[in-house]
A = this chain, B = another copy of it.
């Protein structure tokens, strides 16, 4: 991969395009997962950061990894803003992933509250990465109010169902001048690879790894798949024939290798 192919978020450069979640993990496995994933960013629920438990998480995360505190548990913009402030006070830095959900069955993001929180936090100097439902107008609003990226969902959180929003994530990739980070629902490395082939800038993943039988090995699998998808996007995918086949050597007719 070209050394110049960096993911830029809030002016900071990253080589890895794999953002790892820290939920559901056996703590002893987090370090291995981060290392195998080659992740440079790991999310952490602020609510959890403020507990004994999270102190342990910090111990297991390598030093060079950027923490991305998230506002999970927030049900509206004001709660998200309050959690972000708490995160900064706790030393969580200026990065924040805005997550606002009212619904406990599908855990879908509330786009309007997300726009409000993003605007407030961006004005306060946060580097804001909002989790969102992939609606083109909402993505434009998020861009207008200062988001550093948008994080559309692939399918409901924790479902491992893959790219249910595929066509609409493609629209965001084509129309929005921000990194598009596909978040939630990616269940297999092949799905992460496919999202990257479409031109996504990065993948955020948690459950697919946390529910695998061998967590560190699955982290490796995702790392390789995401790099594969990025390379394929940059390399330019070949054409697809909708009908028929194509012999590889037109001169010799029936000959192929």
**Interface on A for B, CB 8 Å cutoff?**
1, 21-24, 43-45, 47-48, 70, 72-73, 75, 99, 101-108, 110-112, 133, 135-138, 155-161, 164-168, 170-171, 174-175, 187-191, 193-194, 197, 206-215, 217-218, 220-225, 227-232, 234-249, 252-257
Q: How far is the CB of A29 from chain B (nearest CB, A)?
A: 12
The answer to whether A189 touches B238 (Cβ under 8 A) is no
CA distance A74 to B257 in the complex (A): 12
Q: Given A136-B108, A190-B197, A210–B238 Cβ distance below 8 Å?
A: yes
Q: How far is the CB of A210 from chain B (nearest CB, A)?
A: 7
Copies in the complex: 4
Chain B residues within 8 Å of A193, by CB: 188-190, 193, 225, 228
**Smallest CB gap from A227: residue in B:** B224
Chain B residues within 8 Å of A188, by CB: 193-194, 197, 232, 237
